[in-house]
Structure 1
Amino acid sequence: MSKKSKNSLINASKNEVWKHDLDSSNFETNDINELTSLLLDSYKTYNGRQFLNDDDLNCLLPSDKIVLERSTLSYLLMRHRWKGNFCSPVKEKLNTSGTTILDIGCGSGLWAIDMGLNHPSSSIIAIDIDPSKFPSKDQCPPNVCFLTCNAIYGIPFPQNTFDFVNISMMWSAFTEAQWILIIKDLVRVLKHNGWIEFTEPDPTLRNGVKNLAWLIECLSNACRDITGVNIHIYEEIPKYIRAMDELEDFNCMHIDYPMGEWYGYFGKYALENLKRTLQSVVFLPKYMKMSNEEFNNLLDDYFKEANEFKISFTVYKYFAKKVSKNVPII
């Protein structure tokens, strides 16, 4: 790669939005092999799974096809359980021309695509750190755009840009300090009278058997000790919202999330989703001082037991409105 091209990549700001279109790039033809190596260096392999290669990330989960399939299943289950994609009182606004929506940590982009199809008058921007998950252009409605961005470096939009901001199931992605900074930045880009909505689970199992409860506790401890991530972030988000003078009309809703064949197909796939999530936390077996085979056998035994006890957990939605522009912030 030419020295000029290479330096431009090294010195690029970490919150820069990248557009991956080689046809419109300025790279020389003989740079392609080095460009390919650079893209491959974006990932690392640990315990047989692919992760983003960024020391500043605290995300617990890999970035590979297995996680993409699991996140797709998780989205479909969540949409079914909530009977929709949001609870904030924004439906009328979303059907008004010029309305703007921001989705943080969009993953495969199903939420954004659904919103784009259901609300064609709105414009949706979905951001994620890993562009490999993004759908192709022919899979997206014309009012949906996907951008590569790491939210911990800042949301790359001016203040008062969006009418609705959505952030969902990001319990594994940020430390508490990062959550505070990200929420402040999301409120900054939210318009006055706009709404912000969070969706996060309580990982504490209801009717949970002792063995599976112990496994979730191990998960919580491992995440805290190794990455600094608090998987019980659902407890902290209301505190962060209430502490912000810019937000008002705080609301909280929750649903039960049953797991196991005792609850039909939903329960069957919900339990499978939990199992895949635990298998994706690849450092957990080592933390528990066991081999991968021992860990998977443990999961099989515990999940048979869990189905018998009809376990479930709770998922919360929190939403609040940014104060009117005419209301002074003290």
Structure 2
Amino acid sequence: MGHRLSKNVVSSNNNNKKLKSKVDKRKKFRSLRSNSNEQVLTIDESINEAWRFTGSGKRIHYAKNSKLLNNATTEEVERLQKQHWFFKRIWQSNYSAPVEEKLKAGGAKVLDIGCGSGTWIIEMAEMYEQSSFTGVDFSTIFSQEMEPANVKFLQTNILDNLPFLDDTFDFVRMGLLITAFTATELKEKVIPEIVRVTKPGGWIEFMESDIQYFNEGPTTVRLSNARISDPLNSYIPKIMEDNEKIQKGIQTEEKTCFLGKWAGDLGKMAVEDIANGWTAIKAPLSKAMKLKSQEYDELVATFSKEVEQNRTSFKTWRFVAQKIGSTSTSDITVTTTD
């Protein structure tokens, strides 16, 4: 699977030269992004010399003061791209917040926190060419050399404050990043900072997946326990509702993701993504688990077979909130799907 130009881009018959230039630029941009050789690691101080992997669609990050590690190899970039397509197919959309009309009208400002390789940003920028998109991340997986006209990437850490003025963005989105923070950081720093840069009447959306598996086998339990992570997903709505600048009534959507070939292409893709994630942190995690290299490889292989046999699953959520302001709250139709 790969990126496709939106219909809005390919439909113009009067600007062929401009279109060709734009397509060439996109191809070069993606090529640069996919050739990242950066490899950076940091210790998770919460478990001393052990390292931590979040699993279930999470990714590995590096940043000063961050709890995660980042192994930004070409393989990791490709994994993040596949991960984007996986969750887009699960949700059948890139977002749930009621912002489409504003994005289409143009002039909207969008911020993606933890943008990774920039796949979500690029896809959105192609769909809504008259709006502007900013992606920020702890590490520079994204390319800073070839940015589309309506996209800007910045390396920054939200824990060190975002480099934006108050009330800047119409839509702020953060995805698969919840385990980068402690509960205290989430409540006292991350969410307040997101609210600060969101315009009054603007929208905030979190997309996260659970760190808990359902129908787990012993190997899955063993790997899950090794990563050590607090289930902060359930705290997000409460923390947002406690913020006096957010409208009451946080909207929640839920999807169930099944693992294994029995669940079709999506199930196969999910297992491969998670198994590749375990493999990406083999050195630190095998050390933490006191396993030899071969023993660890066998454990990951068993995990892939086990989730197939047990029909293991995990859940993913979207939490949508609106900042209090002059814009009235729009109605959101929420469908909960298991």
CA–CA separation in structure 1 for the residues paired with 2:233 and 2:324 = 23
Residues 61 and 172 of structure 1 are in contact (CA less than 8 Å); yes or no, is this contact kept in structure 2?
no
Return the letter of the residue paired with 1:71. L
Return the letter of the residue paired with 1:216. S
**Candidates 104, 112, 115, aligned match of 1:103:** 112
**Candidates 181, 185, 190, aligned match of 1:178:** 185
Q: Which runs of 5+ in 2 are unaligned?
A: 1-36, 44-49, 51-59, 329-338
What is the CA RMSD across the aligned residues, in angstroms?
2.5
Which residue in the other structure is 1:272 paired with? 272
Note the 1:58-137 alignment, pairs <5 A: 58-134=67-143, 136-137=145-146
CA–CA separation in structure 2 for the residues paired with 1:41 and 1:273 = 20
Instruction: Give yes or no for the alignment of 1:204 onto 2:212.
Output: yes
TM-superposed deviation, 1:174: 2.2
**1:199-251 deviation per Cα after TM superposition (whole angstroms, max 9, x unaligned):** 1111211222233123212222xxx5xxxxx3x22122122111111111410
CA–CA separation in structure 2 for the residues paired with 1:276 and 1:299 = 9
Residues 102 and 124 of structure 1 are in contact (CA less than 8 Å); yes or no, is this contact kept in structure 2?
yes
Residues 256 and 313 of structure 2 are in contact (CA less than 8 Å); yes or no, is this contact kept in structure 1?
yes
TM-score w.r.t. structure 2 length? 0.75
TM-score w.r.t. structure 1 length? 0.76
Note the 1:3-82 alignment, pairs <5 A: 43=40, 55-82=64-91
Please state which structure has a larger fraction of its residues in strand.
1
**Pairs aligned (count):** 274
**Candidates 158, 164, 176, aligned match of 1:151:** 158
**1:242-262 deviation per Cα after TM superposition (whole angstroms, max 9, x unaligned):** 111111141000111111111
TM-superposed deviation, 1:325: 4.3
Residues 1:281 and 1:175: Cα distance change in structure 2 (over 3 Å): farther
Larger Rg: 1
Which residue in the other structure is 1:192 paired with? 200
Which residue in the other structure is 1:5 paired with? none
Residues 1:110 and 1:135: Cα distance change in structure 2 (over 3 Å): farther
**1:12-41 deviation per Cα after TM superposition (whole angstroms, max 9, x unaligned):** xxxxxxxxxxxxxxxxxxxxxxxxxxxx99
TM-superposed deviation, 1:43: 4.0
Return the letter of the residue paired with 2:262. W
Residues 1:324 and 1:190: Cα distance change in structure 2 (over 3 Å): same
Between the aligned residues of both structures, percent identity stands at 28
Residues 200 and 327 of structure 2 are in contact (CA less than 8 Å); yes or no, is this contact kept in structure 1?
no
Q: Which runs of 5+ in 1 are unaligned?
A: 1-39, 225-229
Residues 1:324 and 1:44: Cα distance change in structure 2 (over 3 Å): closer
Which residue in the other structure is 1:168 paired with? 175
CA–CA separation in structure 2 for the residues paired with 1:53 and 1:259 = 28
TM-superposed deviation, 1:53: 7.3
Residues 205 and 312 of structure 1 are in contact (CA less than 8 Å); yes or no, is this contact kept in structure 2?
yes
